[in-house]
Structure formats: C-alpha cells, structure tokens
Amino acid sequence: MKKNKQLSAFLIGLALLFASVIPAHAEELDKLTGKKFAQLARGGVLYDNWFEELGVKVDKTHPSYPSAGKEKGSVTWRCKECHGWDYKGKSGAYSSGSHYTGIVGIRAYANQAPEEVMKILKNDTHSFGSMIPEDSLEALALFVAYGQTDMDLYIDRASKKSIGDPVNGGRIFLATCIKCHNEDGKAINFKDEKNPEYLGTVAKKNPWETLHNIRWGHPGSQMISLLFLGLKEQLDVLAFCQTLPEK
C-alpha cells in the first residue's frame, strides 16, 4: 500500500512537472480539429517562408524592412526575418547581429483572435492581402494565435541548450528523421561544400529555428511536421539534435 502511495505521489509530481512545461495555449491548439488543425500546421511553414511554400516570386526588399537592417531582397519578406525564429523580434535572439531590425515580436498576439491577426497582415505595413490567398492568411493567423510558443522557457538564451531529454528525443529521431537526415544528421548539408552545416551544427547554432522546423516541417520540402506530438517530445528531439556531430 505504502508503495502505491509513493507511486501516486510520484506520478502527480511528474504530471505537475509536465504541466509546467506545456503552455496554456496548448489547450486552444488541442481544440482545433480537422481542417482547422491542418490549416494551423500549414501556418507554421508559411511563417518560415510563405513565398517558397506558395511558389510566389518576390525580389525587391520589403518596403517595411528598415534601412538600417543588413538583409535585402526576398528574404526580407519572410515573417521570421522581421519577427524572429523565437517570435520575439527585437527582444529575442535577433536583438543584435546581422538579423537585427528593431521590429517587435508577435508574442502579444498569442491567444488573440485570429481575425485580429488577419487585419494586421493586410495593413499598410505588411500589405500581404494582395499577395497571399485568404486561406493562407487564415493559416498564418492561426499560427500566430495558437501555434507559437515562448521559446525562452525551454531553450536557454545564453547556452542555447534545450531542456529536453536527448534519450527520448533519440527514439523519435531514429524512427523518423533518419530517413532523410541519416543517423548522424549529415545526409543533408545546409550550407556549402567549403563550410558544411549539418543538423548538429544548426541545432547548436540556431536552436530556435531548429525547434520551429521540428514543429512545423521545412517549406518547399517533403519534411514531416512533429506537431502531432507534445511540446515536450519536440524539445526532446531538439536536445537529441544538439548531440549530433557539427563537422
């Protein structure tokens, strides 16, 4: 009997720990079923690179991209370029460096009505209304409202380490990701022959981008999304990727 009590105390403890890792808006996410869930899943990929996913050509620099910024051309049309991989803009990982724009993040619109986000995407700053079809704008709005997470809770800003468990992450990685990335994460080189960057390199250098890709997949590719898993498992996969070789 005593053992049973200890066990249930342990299980409650575990549940509480787990609950503290999962943000409140996960409940909203859970409410989305069928078509809405599919649309949300697409929203995350569109946030990464909507024009690649939609096959739209953009070349000039976005009119709202600040002249002080160091980027130019099509990349300045990606949501992540102005608002960051951690969705925190100037208060996040893009608070300095070549991607600094001084633009706010999108965190304030987490859990807000997707309709309000739609209005922002069509405003004069963004002018996406004429470029992105209505259903894709809706997908983006669902992502902003219910898909984003506060990454600082799970990835240490200074060490860039995921709080996830690499052992459990390995089980998921070795059953899914290796099909394309290989066991060592080196099947795809994300940079060039001279300075190769593999999954291990990227996961350590930019864990925020890697977590986004784990959750949503990669635009313009066959890469799967792990959105059907909980955030905890996604963080475990990130932790495993951070153990992969960089060279």
Is-contact 217 224, C-beta < 8 A? yes
Measured from the CB atom, the residue of 153 and 174 that comes closer to ligand HEC is: 174
Alpha-carbon span 239 to 162, nearest angstrom: 5
Least distance (Å) from ligand HEC to the CB of residue 109? Answer: 4
Measured from the CB atom, the residue of 23 and 129 that comes closer to ligand HEC is: 129
Two structure tokens written together for 179: 């099909």
Least distance (Å) from ligand HEC to the CB of residue 126? Answer: 5
Measured from the CB atom, the residue of 41 and 117 that comes closer to ligand HEC is: 117
**CA 73 to chain CA mean position, Å:** 23
Measured from the CB atom, the residue of 6 and 189 that comes closer to ligand HEC is: 189
Least distance (Å) from ligand HEC to the CB of residue 149? Answer: 15
Residues in contact with ligand HEC by CB under 6 A are 47, 50, 62, 64-65, 76-77, 79, 81-83, 103-104, 106, 108-109, 117, 120-121, 123, 125-126, 128, 140, 144, 173, 176-177, 179-181, 188, 190, 199, 202, 210, 213-214, 218, 221-224, 226, 237, 241
Alpha helices per DSSP H over 1-149: 2-21, 26-31, 34-54, 79-83, 114-121, 134-142
Alpha-carbon span 3 to 1, nearest angstrom: 5
Is-contact 198 171, C-beta < 8 A? no
Least distance (Å) from ligand HEC to the CB of residue 116? Answer: 8
Measured from the CB atom, the residue of 8 and 123 that comes closer to ligand HEC is: 123
Least distance (Å) from ligand HEC to the CB of residue 83? Answer: 6
C-alpha to C-alpha distances, 18 to 9, 226, 230, nearest whole angstrom: 14, 18, 10
Alpha-carbon span 129 to 118, nearest angstrom: 9
